A and B are shown apart, each in its own frame.
Chain A
Amino acid sequence: MATLDESTDALTAEESWQSIHTTMDNVRSSMYVAGMATILLMWGVILAVGYLTMYGVYTLAPDFAEQHPWFPAPLWWVLGPIGGVSSGIIGSRASRRLSYGAAGRRAGIRVCLFFVTTVVATFLILGVAGVLDDPSADGGKTLTASIAGFLALSYILFGIMTRAVIALAGAGFAVAFFVPHYLLGDAALGVTGVLSLVVFGLAFAWIRKTGEW
């Protein structure tokens, strides 16, 4: 094995090579996750607001919910774009604080394209499956569950490519949605709303406290 005769802080050639690899991997993924702690917390709040609003309408105004089974659609059509645009702004501002130049911009564009692609794919798949054409209450529940599944999947995939805590937040959200969905009946959306905030809030707190990903 080749050795380097540095008197202090000696590195072998292999260690130098490994250090270069690790650092390059780190800087690439660091640019992709700029502002992610705040973005995760924001989505926790948005999901909690959405699910708790739905739960409130189903519980407090069941007649309205029965007459207007499509009511979750406009709710999420407002919350979703707000979350998407806010994520872009937060990520862009965070990226400008970290780096100046083309690398940060390219990373931001790639992250944006990743999530836009998952949103477009979600609606294409649901459209082909006929879920978007069903105006009944059951159709609305299927749509809500499908979108929750795709949202969790997008975070898991993004986290696998960047940082584990993001994938864990996605998996945690899937558990927060689907376990109550199948076990708790009418109370499911209320529990999911609270658990969503807890899951994404924990991810935010973990990143802020430890600085580790």
Chain B
Amino acid sequence: MSVESAPANEAIVLDETIHQPTRLRIMTLLVSVPVPDRLAYGFIQQALDLTGGNLTIHLRKLEAAGFLEITKEFQGTKPRTWAQATVSGRRAYADYLSNLQRTLGLGMSPAE
């Protein structure tokens, strides 16, 4: 996908998998915690105010792209699903952020 870039007047490629409102928020959530932290499915759903079905669809797309890993395990007697950004997912997100900054003519990440 290309972007009409104001500052450089050049086509900037943004990752299509990440550049979707829900998936962008999911990836932002997952990369905002340090490696090797992982977040519970319920937490992602609550934090982003998503339905279970919607979240599952987007998690699967991100997992298929290799941007996150989904693990299921038992905590005591309760099953829990966890999501964790992979190294390639973090790299893709960093590239996305970098390209977004170029598009906007910014030099800082939101975390700064």
Q: Which residues in A have some Cβ–Cβ distance to B below 8 Å? A: 1-6, 9, 11, 13-14, 16-17, 19-21, 23-24, 26-28, 30, 96-104, 211
| B100 on interface, CB distance cutoff 8 Å | yes
Find out whether the CB atom of A16 lies under 8 angstroms from the CB atom of B24.
yes
Closest beta carbon of chain B to A22's beta carbon, Å: 8
Tell me whether A13 and B47 are in contact in the complex, defined as CB-CB below 8 angstroms, given that A4-B19, A97-B42 are known contacts.
no
With a cutoff of 8 Å between Cβ atoms, the chain B residues found around residue A24 in the complex are: 28, 32, 110-111
CA distance A2 to B25 in the complex (A): 20
Partner of A2, one of B20, B75, B103: B103
Closest beta carbon of chain A to B111's beta carbon, Å: 7
Closest beta carbon of chain B to A196's beta carbon, Å: 27
CA distance A213 to B46 in the complex (A): 11
Find out whether the CB atom of A19 lies under 8 angstroms from the CB atom of B28.
yes
Size range of the interface on B? 35 or more
Partner of B3, one of A13, A17, A28, A104: A13
Find out whether the CB atom of A30 lies under 8 angstroms from the CB atom of B47.
yes
With a cutoff of 8 Å between Cβ atoms, the chain A residues found around residue B47 in the complex are: 23, 26-27, 30
Find out whether the CB atom of A103 lies under 8 angstroms from the CB atom of B111.
no
SS of B interface (majority)? mixed
Q: Which residues in B have some Cβ–Cβ distance to A below 8 Å? A: 1-6, 14, 16, 19-21, 24-25, 28-29, 32-34, 36-40, 42-43, 46-49, 75, 80, 82, 97, 100, 103-104, 106, 110-111
With a cutoff of 8 Å between Cβ atoms, the chain A residues found around residue B39 in the complex are: 98-100
With a cutoff of 8 Å between Cβ atoms, the chain B residues found around residue A97 in the complex are: 40, 42-43, 75, 80
- Which chain B residue has the least Cβ–Cβ distance from A14? B104
Find out whether the CB atom of B21 lies under 8 angstroms from the CB atom of A11.
yes
27 pairs of residues in contact across A and B, judged by CB atoms under 8 Å: A2-B5, A3-B3, A4-B19, A5-B1, A5-B2, A6-B20, A13-B3, A14-B104, A16-B24, A17-B110, A20-B110, A23-B25, A24-B28, A26-B47, A27-B28, A28-B32, A96-B75, A97-B40, A97-B75, A98-B40, A99-B40, A100-B38, A101-B36, A101-B37, A103-B37, A104-B37, A211-B46
Known: A4-B1, A27-B33, A97-B80. 5 other contacts (CB 8 A): A3-B4, A13-B103, A24-B32, A28-B32, A101-B38
